[in-house]
Every structure is written in C-alpha cells, then in structure tokens.
Structure 1
Amino acid sequence: MAFQDRSLTCVDCGQQFTFTAGEQEFYAQKGFMNEPKRCKGCKAVRKGGGGHGGPRQEYEVVCSACGQPTSVPFKPILDKPVFCKPCFVAKRAGG
C-alpha cells in the first residue's frame, strides 16, 4: 500500500498538521485503526507538559536531608522523604 502525506486538523487548536506517509506506515504496522487527532504540540501538552508542551508541574518542598527549600517534579507523598538534587545525588552515590 502506498502512503501519501495527508493534512489533518487538530481537534484542540484547530491548526492543520501533516500526517506523513512514514507515520501512516508506522500506524499500519502497529495495527492502529484511528489517525491522530492532535498536532504534536497539543499532544505533548495533553501528555503532561514535557518536551515542547511547556513547563512541567513543580512542587515546593523542604529537603529531608539538609532542610533547604527546593522543588521537585512530582507530588510528594506525606510519609516518604524528599531530597534536593545535591542530596539525592549524594544519597544515590553512597548506596
């Protein structure tokens, strides 16, 4: 089957994006039945903000080791220790 680039409209932002022949071939190989509905930018935002989608959520915490304020990219769990980057690296290196 010969695939050709197709222009699609993003359901979120309404912008046109290209569903390339290579992407169509990949979808067919994986058995995907539906074509993409979102452009790459809107897909990244929907997945959680990494990459081109913008900044990820940061949570302000106090390091359990040194007591300094820091931020982490995950929601802390109350009974689990949270470390700043230097303390985390030192703890990981120390075993």
Structure 2
Amino acid sequence: MSQPPIIFRDEEESSQRLERKAKESPFMIIGLAGLVGALGYSAYKYKNRGTMSTSVYLMQTRVLAQGTVVSCLGLGIIYTILNNFVFNKDEKKE
C-alpha cells in the first residue's frame, strides 16, 4: 500500500533548504535582512512620526521595505549577469 503524504516538513529539511538558497542567491538573504532592518527601523521611529497619520506612515514603511528588497534582488541579477556573461571564466578556447 502507498504511504500517506507528508504534511509537515522536518526542521532539518527547512534549514538545509535555507542553506542551499543562501548559497545559490546570497542577495535574496541580504534583501530579507534589509527588509527586517527597514521594518525594525520604522517600528522604532513610529512614536516620533509627528502629525502624520498612521496609514500614511505605514504606506511609507511599505515603500521603504519593498524598495530595499527590490534593490537587493536587482543587484543580485546584475551580479549574476556580470559573472555569467561579462567576466565568464569558463570560456571554451577553440
């Protein structure tokens, strides 16, 4: 008979997957760290927002967090393109 499907993943499998992703695309991990940093900074500065409404402040926080992640992923794409096509070390000499 067939085995029942696995619903929950092991913690070891998740940590191995995170390690593999970090090695494949380090800029994704940097982008996530930037996201956490931007959100932490915004949460810290929330008390001193002045007369700005909460909704406007949260919109600015969202734009800051998204900009951080998108810029890190964009830098990762540029880095990959430069490594693969411009500074290609594995050129076949004919």
For normalisation by structure 2, the TM-score amounts to 0.24
Q: In proportion to residue count, which structure has more helix?
A: 2
User: Whose RCO is larger (CA < 8 A, sep 6+)?
Assistant: 2
